[in-house]
């Protein structure tokens, strides 16, 4: 691993742990490929790329922390376990104790809840067209 990638890997620790669990490896992969592209274009291009990546990472890490403290724990709890497991990784490695449930069931439940939330929101706004749309979306999700 070259120094710039190593530095990026260290800076990824600025993200909240739950966020890092699902995206850090993918981000590092994407960064490595993009860095090798820019390295071929010269040192100036690599430096510009490095600065842009650093600022992007700092801003998004801040946004991730804000989202962590302002978004619903309930919502986060549903998408994180379904998205963070890597191919070939056993459920024991990624799933926290007590949360070992089928990811498909979690995903379906999350969608049903989201549709219901949107539907209730639309009804409270007396927007029945939108409510009907989410009701149909809910039916489709349940049938799937």
**Helix 3-11 and helix 43-70, axial crossing angle in degrees, nearest 10:** 10
Residue 44 or 97: the one with the smaller Cβ distance to another protein is 44
Pick the binder of another protein from 1, 26, 109, 116 (CB under 8 A). 26
CA–CA dist 4, 34 (Å, integer): 12
| DSSP, residue by residue, 81-108 | HHHHPPTT--HHHHSPTT----HHHHHH
Closest separation in Å from C-beta 96 to another protein: 19
| Residue pair 91/121 in contact by the 8 Å Cβ criterion | no
For position 120 contacting another protein by CB under 8 A, the verdict is: no
> CA 144, CA 138: separation in Å to the nearest integer?
10
Which residue in this structure is represented by tokens 């991730």? 64
Measured in degrees and rounded to the nearest 5, phi and psi for residue 93 equal -75, -30
Among 4, 61, 119, 138, binds another protein (CB under 8 A): 61
* Residue list 80-109, contact with another protein (CB under 8 A): 82-83, 86-87, 107
69 versus 97: smaller Cβ distance to another protein: 69
Which one of residues 31, 81, 119, 138 is an interface residue with another protein (CB under 8 A)?
Answer: 31
Binding site for another protein (CB under 8 A): 19, 23, 26-27, 29-31, 33-34, 52-53, 55-61, 63-64, 67, 71, 75-76, 79, 82-83, 86-87, 107, 110-111, 114, 125-127, 129-130, 132-133, 137, 140
């Amino acid at each position: 691993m070259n120094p710039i990638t190593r530095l990026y890997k260290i800076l990824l620790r600025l993200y909240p742990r739950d966020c890092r669990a699902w995206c850090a490896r993918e981000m590092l992969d994407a960064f490595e490929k993009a860095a090798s592209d820019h390295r071929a274009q010269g040192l100036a291009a690599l430096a510009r790329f490095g600065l842009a990546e650093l600022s992007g990472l700092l801003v998004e890490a801040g946004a991730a922390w804000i989202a962590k403290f302002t978004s619903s724990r309930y919502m986060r709890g549903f998408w994180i376990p379904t998205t963070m497991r890597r191919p070939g990784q056993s459920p024991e490695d990624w799933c926290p104790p007590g949360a070992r449930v089928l990811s498909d069931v979690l995903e379906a439940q999350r969608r049903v809840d989201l549709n219901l939330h949107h539907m209730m929101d639309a009804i409270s706004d007396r927007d029945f067209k939108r409510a009907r749309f989410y009701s149909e979306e809910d039916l489709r999700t349940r049938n799937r």
